Amino acid sequence: MTIDDSPAADTAPHRPRLGWIGTGRMGFPLAARLLDAGHDVAVYNRTRAKAEPLAAHGATVVDAIADLADRDVVFTMVSTSADLAEVTLGEGGLLRHDGAVPGVIVDSSTVSAEVSTRIRAVAAQRGSALIAAPVSGNGKVAKAGRLSVVASGPLDAFERVRPYLEVIGRSVTYAGDGEAARLVKLAHNIFLGVVTQSLAEVTVLAEKGGVSRAAFLEFLNNSVVGSVFTRYKSPAFVHLDLTPTFTPVLLRKDFDLGLETARRMEVPMPVAALTYQLVQAAIGRGHLDEDFAVLLTEQAAAAGLDLAPEDVPVDDGLSASEE
C-alpha cells in the first residue's frame, strides 16, 4: 500500500460534517440552504418521509438521532422544550449514549431557558457545547435567505458555527453567553404577536370605513411604520390566505414562556397580556392549525365586519430575494 505523505495530503482541510434534526416548516428550508451551499449534512426527522426530499439536495437521511452523534456540528429545530429535551437527553438522544457526541449543538428552536440550561450543562460534561441560535422569520423567509439569527453561548463555539449561521440567515447577532438568545427570541415573538394584533385592528378600522385592505396596507408598508414583517404578512391579510406559517398554538406557547419570564423578572407587560388573551380566544374558537393571521378575521368578527378575499396582486417583499 502506498502512503501519500505529500504536503498536500498533510494540509488538506477538514470538511466539517454537519447534522440536522427536525425538517418541518422551518427546518427543511434551513437544512436545504446548508446543503445547497455545499456542506456535508446528514438529517433526521421523526417522520422520515418529511426529510427524504432533502436527499435531492445531497443530504444523507438517517433513521436514528444517534447516527448524528459523531458529527462535528448538529443543528436542532423542533417545536417545544419537551421536544428539544427528548432529542438531546432522551432515550437515544444526542447526549445519552456512551460514544461520541457532537462538538457543538446549535439549537434554533424557541424553548425555555430552563430546559436549555439543563442541556447546556450536560453537553459541557460530555465535552460538547450548546449554542442557542433561534431565528426570526417563517419558512418562506428562510427559503429567501432573509432570516435573522440571534445566538448565545461560549464565544469560541459560536465562532466555530458562525459560518453556518451566516448561510441560513442574512444577519447573525451574538447576544452573549448562556441563555441570552432565548430571552431575545421570546421578547421578539411577544412583539410579533402584539404587532399582528395591532395590524389587524387598524386594517379592520380602515376597511370598515370603506378602504380596501390592499390599499391600506400598500400605504402602511411604504410609510415610516411599515416593516419587512408587515410587508410579507400583507398577502395573507389581503387574500385571507391562512395557510400556516406559524400557528396560534405556537404563538401562545411563546407568550406563555415570555410572560412567565416577565413575571419572574417583575416586568409588567400589560399590552402583551391583553394580546395573549386574544390569541387564546382565537384558539378557543377552534383556530388551531391556521396561520396566526387569523387574528385579522377574529378582529373583523368582533367589529361586525364580514371579510372577503381581495383578488389583487400584493408584493410580499421576498420574491426578489428568492430569485
Look at residues 146, 119, 149 and name the one whose alpha carbon lies nearest to residue 135.
149
**CA 271 to chain centroid:** 24
Condensed to tens digits (0 to 9), the pLDDT of residues 189-211 reads 999 999 999 999 999 999 999 99
- Higher pLDDT, residue 9 or 226: 226
pLDDT bin (cut points 50, 70, 90) of residue 323 is very low
Condensed to tens digits (0 to 9), the pLDDT of residues 99-152 reads 899 999 999 998 999 999 999 999 999 999 999 999 998 888 888 888 999 999
Q: Is the dihedral of CA 71, 127, 155, 85 positive or negative?
A: positive
Look at residues 196, 216, 198 and name the one whose alpha carbon lies nearest to residue 206.
216
Condensed to tens digits (0 to 9), the pLDDT of residues 230-258 reads 999 999 999 999 999 999 999 999 999 99
Condensed to tens digits (0 to 9), the pLDDT of residues 168-189 reads 999 999 999 999 999 999 999 9
Are the beta carbons of 246 and 291 closer than 8 angstroms? yes
The DSSP annotation for 177-237 comes to: STTHHHHHHHHHHHHHHHHHHHHHHHHHHHHHTT--HHHHHHHHHTSTT--HHHHHHHHHH
3-state secondary structure 5-45: CCHHHHCCCCCCEEEEECCCCCHHHHHHHHHHCCCEEEEEC
So what's the pLDDT on residue 208? 98
Look at residues 160, 77, 74, 84 and name the one whose alpha carbon lies nearest to residue 115.
84
For cell 395573507, the residue is 236
Is residue 289 predicted with pLDDT exceeding 70? yes
Mean pLDDT of all residues in 1-26: 70
Contacts 24+ apart (CB under 8 A), 6-15: 15/40
Look at residues 295, 309, 174 and name the one whose alpha carbon lies nearest to residue 235.
309
Look at residues 300, 292, 294, 276 and name the one whose alpha carbon lies nearest to residue 203.
300
Alpha-carbon span 69 to 127, nearest angstrom: 12
Task: Name the region of 145 (left: φ>0; alpha: ψ -120 to 50; beta: rest).
Answer: left
Q: Is the dihedral of CA 313, 315, 316, 319 positive or negative?
A: positive
Domains of the chain, earliest start first: 7-178 (3.40.50.720), 183-322 (1.10.1040.10)
Select which of 185, 208, 233, 253 is catalytic. Answer: 185
Look at residues 58, 44, 51 and name the one whose alpha carbon lies nearest to residue 94.
44
Is residue 154 predicted with pLDDT exceeding 80? yes
Question: Is 140 among the catalytic positions?
Answer: no
Are the beta carbons of 70 and 99 closer than 8 angstroms? yes
Max Cα-Cα span within the chain = 84
Q: How far, CA to CA in Å, does 320 sit from each of 144, 227, 247?
A: 8, 16, 26
Burial annotation 1-20 (CB, 10 A radius, 16+ → b, else e): eeeeeeeeeeeeeeebbbbb
Condensed to tens digits (0 to 9), the pLDDT of residues 48-64 reads 999 999 999 999 999 99
Q: How far, CA to CA in Å, does 106 sit from each of 54, 62, 117, 130, 237?
A: 20, 18, 13, 6, 34
Condensed to tens digits (0 to 9), the pLDDT of residues 64-74 reads 999 999 999 99
